[in-house]
Amino acid sequence: MVTKKEISDLSNAMADAVEKASASIVMVDARRRFPATGIAISEDLILTANHVVEREEDINIMLPDGSKFSAEIAGRDPGSDLVLLKIAGAKATPMESNGEPRVGQLALALGRPSKTGIQASQGIVSAIGGKVRTRHGGFLEKHMRTDATPYPGFSGGPLIDTQGKVLGINTSGLGFSASIAIPIEVASKIAKSLEEHGTVKRGYLGIRSQVIELPKKTKLDREQDYGLLIANIEDDSPALAAGLIAGDIIIGFNGQPIQNHDALFAEMVGEVVGNPTSIEFLSGGKPKTAEVTLTERKESPHRSRHGRGRGGWSRHGARGMRGKMRGKIAREMQRKMHDRMQDMHGDLHDEDQEPDKSD
């Protein structure tokens, strides 16, 4: 049975954690509506949610002591809903982080959306998920869910543990129904890229592909059941330049096995863009390796003629639906491609008839 003293000690510990973390939490005034929250990752850099920074100029930061400073955008990544702001003449208190969240641990969502001070909401880390694509064409290596209430203006603020250390960055701008936090280890990597390059490099390969079960007779130096069957290759694309053709099956990229689209998306980020990278594939049933140089994806991550937007196909992503391909034409194209691949590779099996996707 929990005693009153234990409850009191826990309550005091949580209040202490909020007080400690609040030293690094700032108010971000960069939109027409009410302000939002940000967190200092160094003396002059603030990390916050991209969707709360609607203005390119006239961005104001209020530190915990009430002092105000102007800020400029150091880098944006709509795909992960993160933006890095640089403040001049201020010395913010950098956060302390905890890169090892655990499902079930107590967590506090913090915000500073007004001049009245810090605000907090208590919950737990509900789940820690793996790779996930966002509605703006981005990709997260990992994500967290929490049942802590994300009050208005909390986006961009931290999810902390009971020691006042940051577990992740809260955001409502990734298009998920549940409250999502970007794990701090993932957010820190993105922040570093934004500081160095002003953006996150995401690669363009120029293929449309579908998850498929590998022929049983395939001989690889590792256990692998699935790959990506190339259904189409775009003109003047890196894939075409590397010698790939429709019907090839991608099984590895940058030294990592590729069994689905998410695995490929995860590897097509960062320094591999613009540099020769190995790609493994089956051609005529035989394992082959080539070098491919990804170009940087240029389309707007929000919406464009070739972008992902709400529904519709994309050159680099695909709409988030699974199951049977929609429409008689699409199903017929899939059947013909399958028959062709059966002749080339032998015993092929589609995985759940997943629709083709573009990378």
State the catalytic residue, choosing from 81, 161, 248, 359: 81
pLDDT at 321: 34
309-321 residues labelled b (16+ CB within 10 A) or e (exposed):
beeebbbbbbeee
pLDDT tens-digit readout, 240-286: 999 999 999 999 999 999 999 888 988 898 889 999 999 999 999 89
Higher per-residue pLDDT: 167 or 177: 167
Say whether pLDDT at 310 is over 60: no
pLDDT of residue 88: 87
SS3 category, 150? coil
Give yes or no for residue 359 having a pLDDT over 60: yes
Nearest to 255 by CA among 240, 237, 276, 274: 276
Q: Give catalytic status of residue 51 as yes or no.
A: yes
- Indicate the range of 18-27, 127-136, 293-302 predicted with least confidence: 293-302
The percentage of residues in the chain with a pLDDT greater than 70, rounded to a whole number, is 82
Which H/E stretch holds residue 146? strand 143-146
Lowest mean pLDDT among 255-269, 290-304, 327-341: 327-341
User: What is the model's pLDDT at position 131?
Assistant: 78
| Residues 274 and 292: beta-carbon distance below 8 Å | no
Confidence class for position 358, pLDDT limits 50, 70, 90: low
Higher local confidence (pLDDT), 325 or 95: 95
pLDDT in tens, 189-219: 999 999 999 998 889 999 999 999 998 888 8
Instruction: Please give the Cα distance from 97 to 262 (Å, whole number).
Output: 27
Does residue 311 have a pLDDT over 50?
no
Mean pLDDT of 53-77: 96
**Torsion on CA atoms 162, 168, 174, 180, rounded to nearest 10:** -30
pLDDT band at 177 (very low <50, low <70, confident <90, very high): low
Q: Which one from 24, 29, 51, 121 is the annotated catalytic residue?
A: 51
Predicted confidence band of residue 318 (pLDDT cuts 50, 70, 90): very low
pLDDT over 90 percentage in the chain = 65
User: Is the predicted pLDDT of residue 308 greater than 90, yes or no?
Assistant: no
Going by pLDDT thresholds of 50, 70 and 90, the confidence category of residue 317 is very low
How many residues are recorded in the chain? 359
Among residues 22, 155, 188, 314, which one is catalytic?
155
The domains found in the chain, sorted by start residue, are: 4-197 (2.40.10.120), 203-358 (2.30.42.10)
- CB-based contacts of 7, cutoff 8 Å, min separation 6: none
**Contact assessment for residue 92 and residue 112, using Cβ atoms and an 8 Å cutoff:** no
